[in-house]
Structure 1
Amino acid sequence: MLRVWMLWVMLLAWGSQVQAITVGAEQPGKYLPLLEGKRVGLVVNHTSRVGDTHLVDFLLDNNIQVAQVMAPEHGFRGKLGAGEKVHDDRDPKTGVPLLSLYGATKKPTAAMLNGVDVLVFDIQDVGARFYTYISTLHYVLEAAAQYQTPVIVLDRPNPNGAFVDGPLREPAFASFVGVDPLPVLHGMTVAELARMIKGEQWIEQADELRLQVVPVANYTRDMSYTLPVAPSPNLPNDQAISLYPSLVFFEATRVSVGRGTLLPFQIIGHHQVPLGALTLTPQSRPEAPAPKLKGNTVYFKDLRQSNITGLDLSVLINTYQIFKKAGEPFFDRPDFMDKLAGTDALRKAILAGHDEAQIRASWQTDLARFKQRRRPYLLYP
């Protein structure tokens, strides 16, 4: 009986191992042959890992010539705060040149692609339109098409992949937090987005783009997925990543989302309009050099035990009502709010007193069209 039980345990372990999610970078047999003898440009950051090894080191260990690295917001090491400029540098460990795609230059130039035979994009996204890694993806694809440089996208799961929600970005509100006409939550991986950007001709010379993708193995979009590395400094854990799509709109208000504390994107608070019982004082930190309400005692509402998932408008609407009752202004950066939402309709609806059901109804037709439009580009059930 003991031998049968041990065999059953071994079979279960083998089955779970076979079914384990395997990201694109961890399937080298599918992309190393495409890189041999080529001068490779990488668009990567700290999330670009093959197990515990950074993709840069992994490629060099496999005798792949890494010509240069291009880094998005937060930099190659992922330590810079939101909005901080990324500067050109050289990796002290490998000597590989590091070029910035978050500063004066957001789209690779001809000079940056000179001497590059193929580009590899491998960055962990979180599934929200305003998370700028996919904006960098857009401009990398556009430059690659323009300069006829092949691109390989190594895919990773979308931790918010089960959700497609929110207003679509309208043309008048295009910005670096809304480059493509996507809803707030698009429910796609970076490889799927790359396919859609090309297929829908959202970039110039899209037909010239030579795109290959390495999909995630054993993945479905409704799977829960714990990111092995925090995707950016102020999204330190699963809870923050889950709350981020709903809380990011507070960045356009007088309310703090906890930047400058140890709980970014897990709490909301204000120093004059108490929202909860948790008192913290935001301070300058490497990931938040100049946080909102710095040095003030802030009364935070703790959302760590909340059941908020996807796009939840109730917390935003309810907080607006609290500020309105207190006679305090709420949206102090209306233009930024509209860029985050991709429309001014959301802000105006909240100011007009519309409830969540009314607001949600306003974007359902556009969402249905988007879901139909994206269907040919999906890689996962």
Structure 2
Amino acid sequence: MLQNKSVGLVGNQSSLVGDQHLVDFLLSKNIRIKRIFSPEHGFRGTADAGEKIKNSKDVKTGISIVSLYGKHFKPGIEEVQDLDIMIFDIQDVGVRFYTYISTLHYVMEICAEQNIPLIVLDRPNPNAHYIDGPVLEKKYSSFVGMHPVPVVYGLSIGEYAKMINGESWLKGKVKCDLKVIPCKNWTRNQVYDLPVKPSPNLPNALSVALYPSLCFFEGTPVSAGRGTDQPFQCFGHPKMNQGDFSFTPRSIPGASKYPKFEGEKCFGKDLSKFDLMDFRKRKNLDLSFLLLAHQQLHSNTKFFNAFFKNLAGTDTLRKQIEKGMSEEEIRATWQKDLESYKEIRKKYLIYSDWK
């Protein structure tokens, strides 16, 4: 499919074939890679969250790298018009506000508009064993959530690409000429420990598992551990009162250059000793962290910022928490939309669903 073609490749540090980067592997097979496209965190995965990235060249190969997290999220016509085919190979974590699926959307869109076939090299989703969270409302669509799916959507990135196409979510309802290369020997219930960090602040399996629950703190004054050795494995705030656990965020170039509460002592909860297998068995988001922090802080600080509704995909969750609803009551309000989503999702499954 790639021989004698001019190839574009969307990838980052997770685009590995064994221990070899996909770029190096394809070049060794005499495949002509014309251009590399990189998502948030850059081609080598070392840029801070939200940090704008400039176009560059790959030091090792000299191939031009186009940033899809700088001046624009979508490749320009001039950046793809000399390509015969595009490859997308990025490790996802199965969470709506993780921006790699938004990059996938825009790559599919330009490929559809310019009649360029797209190959998605599928990879296991470490959070594929459950579906949970509010379904995004269209008016809250942004780069941290473009589609009407729950926070945790239970699909591989290849299945997700099929859903983007099948549900006509691309602008103008265009269809991408899509080919998904599936994983062998993977099931949705399988524990999959990522061989490489998918982004700077998800260093291990526990952080990946806790990320869907703790990322809500990005829309509040609470730190989710950025600027520590335990990102997305703890949370805290200078005014919280939680036992004897504390941490002091520091600047960590390549991970958290300007963390929340840099140099200030934060008190909160240490989740780094959580039993990962026990947490997986729950098969849901844990809202207790968010509810606890709100209970302690809302009376003396503005708790929710404007970003929260983009992360939640709705403004309802904020209102429910401010109203004092319990986790069980909040979760119950998601169920109708989740059931509707699950029916849509069935159409795009490549791998057998849960027993």
TM-score (norm 2): 0.95
Answering whether residue 170 of structure 2 is matched by residue 203 of structure 1, we say yes
Answering whether residue 139 of structure 2 is matched by residue 172 of structure 1, we say yes
Residue 329 of structure 1 aligns with which residue? 301
More helix as a share of residues = 1
Partner letter of residue 249 of structure 2?
Answer: P
The answer as to whether partners of 1:168 and 1:181 remain within 8 angstroms in 2 is yes
The partner residue of 1:125 within 77, 80, 92 is 92
Residue 267 of structure 2 aligns with which residue? 299
The answer as to whether partners of 2:92 and 2:157 remain within 8 angstroms in 1 is yes
Partner letter of residue 193 of structure 2?
Answer: T
In the TM superposition, what whole-angstrom CA distance separates every residue of 1:132-159 from its partner, at most 9, and x where no partner exists? 0000001100111011110000000000
Separation of aligned partners in 2, 1:275 and 1:198: 46
Deviation of residue 86 (structure 1)?
1.3
Residue 102 of structure 1 aligns with which residue? 69
Separation of aligned partners in 2, 1:300 and 1:341: 22
The answer as to whether partners of 2:241 and 2:296 remain within 8 angstroms in 1 is no
SS of 2:78's equivalent in the other structure is: helix
The partner residue of 2:337 within 366, 370, 373 is 366
Q: Figure out how many residues of one structure are paired with residues of the other and give that number.
A: 345
Residue 185 of structure 2 aligns with which residue? 218
Identity %: 50
CA 1:332–1:341: 2 relative to 1, 3 Å: closer
Residue 315 of structure 1 aligns with which residue? 289
Deviation of residue 352 (structure 1)?
0.3
The answer as to whether partners of 1:258 and 1:266 remain within 8 angstroms in 2 is yes
Partner letter of residue 216 of structure 1?
Answer: C
Answering whether residue 233 of structure 2 is matched by residue 266 of structure 1, we say yes
Deviation of residue 308 (structure 1)?
4.1
Separation of aligned partners in 2, 1:229 and 1:361: 36
Separation of aligned partners in 2, 1:147 and 1:117: 10
**Which consecutive residues of structure 1, in runs of 5 or more, have no partner in the other structure?**
1-33
Separation of aligned partners in 2, 1:243 and 1:353: 23
The answer as to whether partners of 2:113 and 2:174 remain within 8 angstroms in 1 is no
CA 1:254–1:208: 2 relative to 1, 3 Å: closer
The answer as to whether partners of 2:233 and 2:272 remain within 8 angstroms in 1 is yes
Deviation of residue 305 (structure 1)?
2.2
Deviation of residue 274 (structure 1)?
2.8
Partner letter of residue 373 of structure 1?
Answer: I
CA 1:315–1:241: 2 relative to 1, 3 Å: same
In the TM superposition, what whole-angstrom CA distance separates every residue of 1:11-61 from its partner, at most 9, and x where no partner exists? xxxxxxxxxxxxxxxxxxxxxxx0000000000000000000000000000
Deviation of residue 207 (structure 1)?
4.9
Partner letter of residue 333 of structure 2?
Answer: S
Residue 116 of structure 1 aligns with which residue? 83
Partner letter of residue 300 of structure 2?
Answer: E
Separation of aligned partners in 1, 2:92 and 2:243: 31
Residue 59 of structure 1 aligns with which residue? 26
The answer as to whether partners of 1:269 and 1:276 remain within 8 angstroms in 2 is no
Separation of aligned partners in 2, 1:239 and 1:128: 14
Deviation of residue 205 (structure 1)?
5.0
In the TM superposition, what whole-angstrom CA distance separates every residue of 1:102-153 from its partner, at most 9, and x where no partner exists? 1221011101102111000000000100000000001100111011110000
Cα RMSD of the aligned pairs, angstroms, is 1.2
Deviation of residue 355 (structure 1)?
0.5
The answer as to whether partners of 1:145 and 1:204 remain within 8 angstroms in 2 is no
Residue 290 of structure 1 aligns with which residue? 258
